[in-house]
Structure formats: C-alpha cells, structure tokens
Amino acid sequence: MILLKIIITLFILFAIVNLINQKKNDKINFSTFAMWLIIWISVGIVFWKPDVSTTLAHYLGIGRGSDLMIYISIITIFYMLFKMFSHINKIETQITKIAREIAFITANDNKNNKN
C-alpha cells in the first residue's frame, strides 16, 4: 500500500509541476490553471484523507464519499466536453471564414488573370 501512495503522490506532484510550467509559458489561461490545480489538490487530499470525501458527502446529503467523487467526476467530464465542443465550434467558424476569404481571393485572381 505504501508503494501505491508513493507512486500516486509523485504522479500528483508531477501533474501540478507540469500545470505550473504550462501557466508560466502561457499555454493555458488562469481559469483552466485554477480548475486543474483544484482538481489535483482535491485528488491528493481525498487520496490521503478519504474520510474528507465521506464527511463532505454526508454534509451534502449523499450516502458515501465514493458516490460524491463519481458525481463530481461526471460533472467535470461533462463540463470539459462542453468546453471542447465550444472550442471546436469556434475553430470550425474560423476555418469557414478563412476558406471563404481564400475562395474570394482566388476568384478575384482568376478574374484578373483572364483580363
């Protein structure tokens, strides 16, 4: 069990250091940084003190701490899917705009070359 705790703790620390480096290099915005930092710190707390999730679950009217973690995980996954879907739609709109501009420029060039 102690080996598992060491491995998971090292992984959490690695994830947090990687997250900090991404923020320093402006690869992620502050809200993404804060969300992931909260997630990784929460994972560490729940891993080392599982009673915290049970206490919080009972406070929220949920029977078990593991159920609370599953609910939070599902909500987080749906939020991330929503953000990814929104980002993909934005990129598709930008690609469409660029394609139209290229088509317009190409059509004008072809028209000018014929004259």
pLDDT attached to residue 71: 93
Structure tokens at 46: 């729940």
* pLDDT value of residue 24: 95
CA 107 to chain centre: 41
Q: What's the average model confidence in pLDDT over 71-75? A: 92
Is residue 111 scored above 90 in pLDDT?
no
How much is the pLDDT for 101? 94
Mean per-residue pLDDT, 1-12: 90
Q: What's the whole-number mean pLDDT along residues 10-20?
A: 96
DSSP 4-72: HHHHHHHHHHHHHHHHHHHHHTTSS-HHHHHHHHHHHHHHHHHHH-HHHHHHHHHHTT-S-HHHHHHHH
Residue 27 pLDDT > 80: yes
Predicted local distance difference test score (pLDDT) of residue 115: 60
Query: Would you kindly state where each structural domain of the chain is located, as residue ranges?
Result: 2-85
pTM score: 0.70
| Average pLDDT over every residue of 66-77 | 91
